[in-house]
Amino acid sequence: MLIGLGLGPGDPELLTLKAVRLLRDADSVFVPGRIAADLVAPYRKAEVLDFPMTEDRAVIASAMQANAERIGPFAMESTVVLGILGDPSFFSTFGRLRTVLKDAYPGIVVRTEPGVSSITAFASAAGVEVAGNLLVSTGRGPHNRLLLKVRHPKEAADGLRQEGFSRFVLVERMYLEGMRVISGDALPEDSDYMSILFAER
């Protein structure tokens, strides 16, 4: 069995009680990077896998195949946890890995356990209340919009102003070392990969 486990946005105190239990009970634990490894370290030693942060589909596909081949044999015989930052069902690489695993190892039972997602944690970190209709994507939306993984926030905000948005808050590296909350006209040209931009009409 493979469990895609949400580890929350980066604050160790935002791990759920279930996450702690599953980490302790699992036969093997894998994580996609050092931040996740540090989160699970008090409970289990985890093997760090390579999940490259890139838009190159060939690189992503190759990494997913390699990770599936590493996890698959363990998950066929025992309980494996893959700890993912945030929630494994929201804008996560877990979905891609799950598809590759199902093709290569169709007998594996796969399930997810939620974590505090960046979508819900963002409002507290930014000090904003998300109200009305909400679309979380890089596409078009209604009254509020959250853009995830924003690398060029000033450019994104300039584009959103053309659609009638007027208030912006950027949270960079939410609940991680070096977290910044930036609002108004002070948005930077570039930001960390782990950034969320909130826009309001």
The pLDDT value given to residue 118: 87
Q: Are residues 94 and 16 in the same domain?
A: yes
pTM of the model as a whole: 0.75
The pLDDT value given to residue 136: 74
Domain CATH for 16: 3.40.1010.10
Q: Are residues 104 and 73 in the same domain?
A: yes
The pLDDT value given to residue 140: 58
Burial class (CB in 10 A: 0-12, 13-18, 19+), 132: exposed
pLDDT one digit per residue (tens) for the chain, 201 residues: 999 999 999 999 999 999 999 999 999 999 999 999 999 999 999 999 998 888 888 988 899 999 999 999 999 999 999 999 999 988 788 988 999 998 999 999 999 999 999 888 998 999 998 887 677 776 655 688 889 889 999 999 999 999 899 999 999 998 889 999 998 889 999 999 889 999 998
Q: Are residues 14 and 52 in the same domain?
A: yes
Burial class (CB in 10 A: 0-12, 13-18, 19+), 152: middle
- From 113, 130, 162, the end of a domain falls on 113
Lookup: tokens for 120: 């819900």
Q: Are residues 83 and 23 in the same domain?
A: yes
- From 69, 87, 113, the end of a domain falls on 113
The pLDDT value given to residue 139: 65
Q: Are residues 107 and 122 in the same domain?
A: no
Residues spanned by the domain of 188: 118-200
Number of Cβ atoms within 10 Å of the Cβ of 173: 18
Q: Are residues 33 and 86 in the same domain?
A: yes
The pLDDT value given to residue 57: 86
Number of Cβ atoms within 10 Å of the Cβ of 176: 15
Number of Cβ atoms within 10 Å of the Cβ of 157: 21
Q: Are residues 126 and 109 in the same domain?
A: no
The pLDDT value given to residue 15: 97
Q: Are residues 17 and 106 in the same domain?
A: yes
Interatomic CA distance for residues 178 and 104, integer angstroms: 39
Lookup: tokens for 89: 């069902």
Q: Are residues 165 and 71 in the same domain?
A: no
At CA 34, angle to CA 31 and CA 38, rounded to 5? 85
State the total domains in the chain. 2
Q: Are residues 108 and 186 in the same domain?
A: no
Q: Are residues 8 and 82 in the same domain?
A: yes
- From 113, 137, 162, the end of a domain falls on 113
Number of Cβ atoms within 10 Å of the Cβ of 68: 22
Q: Are residues 33 and 107 in the same domain?
A: yes
